[in-house]
Amino acid sequence: MSDLDKILVQFEGDLQPVHSEQALEELRVRYLGKKGIVTAEFKMLGPLPPAQKPARGAELNMLKERVTARLSERREELQAVKLARPTIDLTMPGRRPQVGRLHPLTQIEERIKRIFRAMGFSVETGPEIETAFYNFTALNTPEWHPARDEADTFYLDDERLLRTETSPVQIRVMQRGKLPVRMISPGRVYRNDKPDPSHFPVFHQVEGLYVDKGVTFADLKGTLLFFYRQLFGPDTQLRFRPHYFPFTEPSAEVDASCYLCGGKGCRLCKHTGWLEMGGSGMVDPNVLEDVDIDSEEYTGFAFGLGIERIALLWYGIDDIRLLYENDLRFLRQFT
């Protein structure tokens, strides 16, 4: 056995017990460092006769390569072991940054607004304290209409009241005198109702209006069908039932096919297959004339829907009051 073979045997012996990267590094230094065993052998090349140098140099290089290769083999082994054996309990809970949530009513409202914005509707707002003129008279509500009663509407004084719908915003926008008008007005409205599972004196509505030349009932149907399909899914069907609203004529109640059963009938739709969504119709000519729009030249459609109603249906909430109680166990469910 040559002296270099002995060094290799000694190295293998030293490598055997090494099981940490630190010990491995120490071993590398001991053999290949500035003062290492192999390095020392290279230093002794100098004094050798020139004839012996190439052979000895080649042997030394082989030794160094061999040592280097064995060191890196062991390093990889050690790293593999380290990766394979976790040092932390992976099942411990992570540290979670606190994230809040938007209220479910806001989430529904934003979905609705996104759909209408995509159809070119502007989003308009207006005061919640309205006058009887904007809330009723300008909307063609007859003087005798029970909606004007104190049993239905909250009054602040003889003229001022809390708006019962967001349609007054539509009057204010039409009064600006710029046509066409293509808008929705989302917002909070008030009715003198006793709180119960399906009523709350405060709730939210979205009302829409489109006034232009040549707008027809067929356009109303097309627009609402597009909207409800975006909201409830592409298979949604609509049904229009005649109704009476002072603001519109002809007027229609809009029913959407139940998104849960697809119209076959289930508990959600009370086995009718239909969900009542809100009122709609062609803007009454009186309303247009009162804001100086020529009702022979321009026609328009209007519609309304309740945000709470959609939230209750969509999330399967059975009591509207939950939306205003703000229990965090409730609110945190709406991701």
Q: Which of residues 181-240 bind another protein (CB under 8 A)?
A: 182, 188, 190, 192-194, 200-202, 212, 214-219, 221-223, 225-226, 238-240
Which listed range, 44-52, 63-71, 73-81, 146-154, lies at the site for another protein (CB under 8 A)?
Answer: 146-154
Residue 328 CB, nearest approach to another protein (Å): 5
Rounded Cα–Cα distance for residues 88 and 120 (Å):
54
Q: How far is the CB of 80 from another protein (least distance, A)?
A: 30
Q: With binding defined as CB under 8 A, does residue 324 bind another protein?
A: yes
Q: Of 312, 319, 324, whose CA–CA distance to 188 is shortest?
A: 324
Compare residues 146 and 177 and give the one whose CB is closer to another protein: 146
Number of residues interacting with another protein: please give it, by CB under 8 A. Answer: 83
Complex with another protein: residue 39 or 107, whichever CB lies closer:
107
Report if residue 290 touches another protein, rule: CB under 8 A. Answer: no
Furthest CA-CA distance within the chain: 126
Tell me the H-state helices in 155-297.
Answer: 167-175, 217-232, 285-290
Distance CA 67, CA 279 (A): 86
d(CA 217, CA 250) in angstroms, rounded, equals: 8
Strand partners, 160: 131
Question: In the set 115, 132, 154, 261, which binds another protein (CB under 8 A)?
Answer: 154
Site string for another protein, 293-312 (x = CB under 8 A): ------x-------------
331 touching another protein, by CB under 8 A: yes
H or E stretch at 18: none
Q: Are 178 and 148 in contact (CB under 8 A)?
A: no
Binding part of the chain for another protein, among 25-33, 60-68, 73-81, 318-326 by CB under 8 A, reads 318-326
Burial bucket for residue 185 (CB in 10 Å: 0-12, 13-18, 19+): buried
233 in Cβ contact with 203 (< 8 Å): no
Sites for another protein among residues 72-111 (CB under 8 A): 93, 95-103, 105-106, 110
Residue type for position 303 = F
Of the listed pieces 11-19, 28-36, 140-148, 312-320, which binds another protein according to CB under 8 A? Answer: 140-148
Beta-carbon contacts of 199 under 8 Å, excluding residues fewer than 6 positions away, are 191, 193, 320
Q: Which is nearer to another protein, 292 or 325 (CB)?
A: 325
Residue closer to another protein (CB basis): 38 or 281:
281
